[in-house]
Amino acid sequence: HNFYGPKSYPLLGCLISFWKNQSRLCEWYTDLLRESPTQTITVQRLGAITTVVTANPENVEHILKTRFDNYPKGKIFKAILHDLLGNGIFNADGDLWRMQRKIASDEFNTKSLRNFIVDSVQTEITERLLPLLLQACQKGSFVDLQDVLRRFSFDNICKVAFGMDPNCLDLSLRQSDFANAFDLASHLSSKRALSLTSLEWRVKRALNLGSERLLADALRVVHDFATEIIRGRSAEVNDLSPQDKPDLLSRFVALAKDDVLDEQYLRDIVVSFVLAGRDTTASALTWFFWLLSSHPKVEEAILKEINDEYDSGLQDSYENMKGMQYLHAALCESMRLYPPVRYDSKYALEDDFLPDGTFVRKGSWVTYHPYAMGRMDSIWGADCMEFDPDRWMEDGVLVPQSPFKFAVFQAGARICLGREMAFIQMKYIAISVIRRFRLRVDPQHKAESIPSLSASMKNGLPVRVERREASSSPPAL
Ligand code: HEM
C-alpha cells in the first residue's frame, strides 16, 4: 500500500524536520503533498498520533462522505472544546450531532432566517461599517481592516445566533465583557490543541493554574451571559413567532417548549454557532481585499459588475447581490488560495484504506488540507498559484466546483451550515465597500499568516481608505 511522508528516523519519526518547519507547517505540508504521487502523506513523529494528510479529492470524498461514519471528530478534539461548547453542534458526533444538524439546517433553509440575516448585515453596514470607513477616509489615517471585519462578523453572528447586539464595531464604546471573554475563551481553548500532550492542559485544569484558570474565568462570563439571554427568551416563549423573533436561539427555544432541549444544551448550540461563524468570514474578506489591492483588473471587473447590476434598477436587494456571479467567483478564488480553515482533522474509528491505497490505522488522525489543495497543479492546473476568478466562469456564468476539490467549507454530511450566510455577508460588504471606496494597503505591510488553524493575518491589514470618484452611484451613507 502507499506510504509517502517526510524524512523519518526510527523512534523519532519526522520530529527533526517537524521542528525545523514549525513556523511554516502549512507550507511544509503543501510541499510534501505536491511531491507525493497521490497527494497524500503519512506523518509519524515521537509523541504524536500518526496523521494521514491528504490533498486528494477522491480521498477527501471518501473521508467526508463515503465512510463518513468512520471519521468523526473524535474524543481528543471534543475534549479540547468541551468546556466551551459542551455538546453543541460544532463539537458533537453521532445522534447528538444529527439531531441539531437536522433542526439547524431546516431553519437555515427558511426564507425568514435569510431575510433576517440580510437585514442584520445591511444595518451593520450602513450604521457602522460605512461611517467608520468614511471617517478613516476623512482623517487619512490607516485602519486595520482585519480588526474591523472581525468586529463586524462578531456583531453579526451574535445578532443571528442570539438576537443580541454586542456593538463591537462602534469603536467609541468600551468592548463588551461578553466579547472580550469570548475572544479569550476561544483563543485559550484552541491553544490546548498546541500542548505537547493533552496531559499538560488537563493537569493545569485540574489544579486551576495559569492559562486554564484564565480560561475558566472567561468561560464563566460567556456561559452566564448566554444563560441569562436564554432565560429571558424562554420566558417569552409563548409570544415567539419567526417573524418577530427570527434569531436562531428563539427558533431553538420555540422547539424546546416540550423540554426536548434543556438550558445548557441550548447554550451549547448557540455558543457553537458564534464560534463557527465569527472569524471565518472576517478572515476570508481580509485576504480578499489584500488580493484585490494587487489585482486592479479584478477590482475593475467587480466594479463593472456592481455598476451594471445597480444600473438595472434593483437597489441593495438580495436578488441584486445574488446576481453578481463574477464577485462570487472572485471570493471563491480568494478562498481557494487563502481558506479561512486551512486544514481539518478527523479521527479514524477503524482500520481503513483510502481510495489511493493509503492505509489508515485505527486511532490515527486523518486531515484534509484545503490550503494545500488550492496549491495543487493536479487539481487546478499549472497556473494554480495565480489569483484568477475567471477560472470559475464560463461564458459569463459561474461554474461551481466539486466540494471535494474545493473543500473550503468542508463537504459531505457536515458541510458548513453557514455558507450561504457567509456569502451574503461577504458579498454585501464587498459591494458596499468597493462601490464607494478604494482600499490602499500599506506598502510596508508584509502579508503573513499566523501559524494556526484559522488564517489570520499577522499584524492585521493596515489600509488607507480613499473615496472612489465618479462612480455611477454616489456614496450614500
Ligand atoms: C467563509 C466563511 C466560512 C467558512 C470558510 C466555513 C468553514 C467551515 C468548515 C471548514 C467547517 C467544518 C469544521 C469541522 O467540522 O471541523 C464548518 C462547519 C460549520 N460552520 Fe462554517 N464556515 C464559514 C462561515 C460560517 C458561518 C457564517 C456560520 C454561521 C452560521 C457557520 C456555521 C457553521 C456550523 C454550525 C458548522 C458545523 C456544521 C456541522 O458540524 O454539522 N460557518 N464551517
**Interface predicted TM-score (ipTM) of this complex, two decimals:** 0.98
Full pLDDT tens readout for the chain, 477 residues: 567 888 888 888 888 888 899 888 899 999 999 999 999 999 998 888 899 999 999 999 999 999 999 999 988 888 999 999 999 999 999 998 998 899 899 888 888 889 999 999 999 999 999 999 999 999 998 999 999 999 999 999 999 998 889 889 988 777 788 888 998 998 898 888 877 677 888 999 999 999 999 999 999 999 999 998 888 877 776 666 655 668 888 888 877 666 656 888 889 988 999 988 888 999 999 999 999 999 999 999 999 999 988 777 656 677 778 889 999 999 999 999 999 999 999 999 999 999 999 999 999 999 999 999 999 999 999 999 999 999 999 998 999 999 999 999 999 999 999 999 999 999 999 999 999 999 999 888 888 888 665 688 998 999 999 998 754 444 444
* Distance from residue 247's CA to the centre of ligand 1 (Å): 18
Atom of ligand 1 nearest to the CA of 92: 40
Say what the pLDDT of residue 241 is: 63
Ligand 1 binding pocket mutation candidate from 99, 153, 280 (most atoms within 8 A of CB): 280
What contacts 307, CB < 8 A, 6 or more positions away?
Answer: 435, 471, 472, 473
Residue 424 to residue 121: CA distance in whole angstroms: 8
* Distance from residue 422's CA to the centre of ligand 1 (Å): 9
Compute CA distances 338 → 21, 110, 342, 375, 402, whole Å: 19, 30, 8, 10, 18
Atom of ligand 1 nearest to the CA of 248: 30
Say what the pLDDT of residue 472 is: 47
Judge whether 168 is annotated as a binding position.
no
Written as one letter, the residue type at 17 is S
Residue 40 to residue 37: CA distance in whole angstroms: 8
CB 279 within 8 A of CB 150: yes
What contacts 33, CB < 8 A, 6 or more positions away?
Answer: 39, 40, 41, 53, 54, 55, 369, 372, 376
Q: Is 437 helix (H, G, I), strand (E, B) or coil?
A: strand
This prediction has a pTM of 0.93
Which residue has the CA at smallest separation from atom 27 of ligand 1? 277
Residue 312 to residue 327: CA distance in whole angstroms: 17
Residue 121 to residue 425: CA distance in whole angstroms: 6
Residue 178 to residue 167: CA distance in whole angstroms: 11
Compute CA distances 82 → 190, 213, 219, 256, whole Å: 11, 16, 11, 22
Say what the pLDDT of residue 170 is: 84
Which residue has the CA at smallest separation from atom 7 of ligand 1? 409
Would you state the cell numbers that stand for residue 147, as one nine-digit string?
480588526
Which residue do the cell numbers 445548557 mark? Answer: 264
